[in-house]
Amino acid sequence: MAWKFDNPLYSLSDEEQNKRAITLWEAERHGDLWAANNRVPFPVTLLIALIVLTAFMMTMPIWGQRPTAELYAPMVQMMDSPQVKGMATNKEKIAYLTTEAMKAHEQAKDSRLPGLLERHPITWSDLQLMAPAIREIQSSGGTYGLESYTVVGDQVVLANFEGMRRPDGKRLRTQPWFDTGFIIDMFYVSYFIIVMVLVCKRLPHFSQKANPKKS
């Protein structure tokens, strides 16, 4: 069962292991069916690549950090100001609030906030619906802050992430840096390809054929 790495594209097994595999292959009956030791057909390789590409394209819309209540807190704080109430249309109100929130986030410690707000715009109606929940979280002084609440549509809910424990024993509920969709995709795709190559290359090279007459 020795591993051989001097020519990994040919085989990861030594010659003795390959000979034992061929001998075992010839000794088995295979249910009176015979499968030759051929290389993987090129169309199958293209099909695997197409599946991987399709998986990336299907999950691309949900890549990135999820919007949190922290993004819209400056907008909630200013939405009842006389300047906002004096604007004629809802579009003007939300455009002004978005600009002011962007300025506030540019001064924040978390440099990701301006980009997140830009990627997750909301309407005036959305802001009116989520404002009571954001105000309640701010005033309650509860276990979790606004950064631990995810905005789903017009609903503000506690994020379903469960990270490491905080000093008070509670779990972190903020989205981890590695859980942004494409990083998870890259991990599992790489894992699948590496394991597939290791399994295939532990078998005898396709140039080594078993004799079906011996079975």
> pLDDT above 90 covers what percent of the chain?
28
Whether residue 170 lies inside any domain: the answer is no
* 90 plus 140 within the same structural domain: yes
Provide the whole-model pTM: 0.60
pLDDT tens track for 142-178 = 788 888 999 988 889 888 777 788 887 788 888 777 7
Whether residue 135 lies inside any domain: the answer is yes
pLDDT tens track for 43-73 = 998 998 998 888 888 877 667 778 899 999 9
* 85 plus 145 within the same structural domain: yes
* 126 plus 73 within the same structural domain: yes
- CA distance linking residue 207 with residue 203, whole number of Å: 11
> pLDDT above 70 covers what percent of the chain?
92
- CA distance linking residue 115 with residue 105, whole number of Å: 9
Residue 189's pLDDT is 84
Q: How far is CA 136 from CA 55, 113, 132, 190, in A?
A: 39, 21, 6, 44
**Sign of dihedral through CA atoms 102, 106, 110, 114?**
positive
* 197 plus 149 within the same structural domain: no
Q: What is the DSSP letter of 103?
A: H
Q: Report which of 75, 72, 145, 170 is spatially closest to residue 113, judged by C-alpha positions.
A: 72
How many domains in the chain? 2
Mean of pLDDT values over 29-51 = 80
Per the prediction, the chain carries an average pLDDT of 85
* 135 plus 104 within the same structural domain: yes
Tokens of 5: 């790495």
22: containing domain: 15-61+182-214
- CA distance linking residue 158 with residue 161, whole number of Å: 9
pLDDT tens track for 83-120 = 999 999 999 999 999 999 999 999 988 888 888 899 89
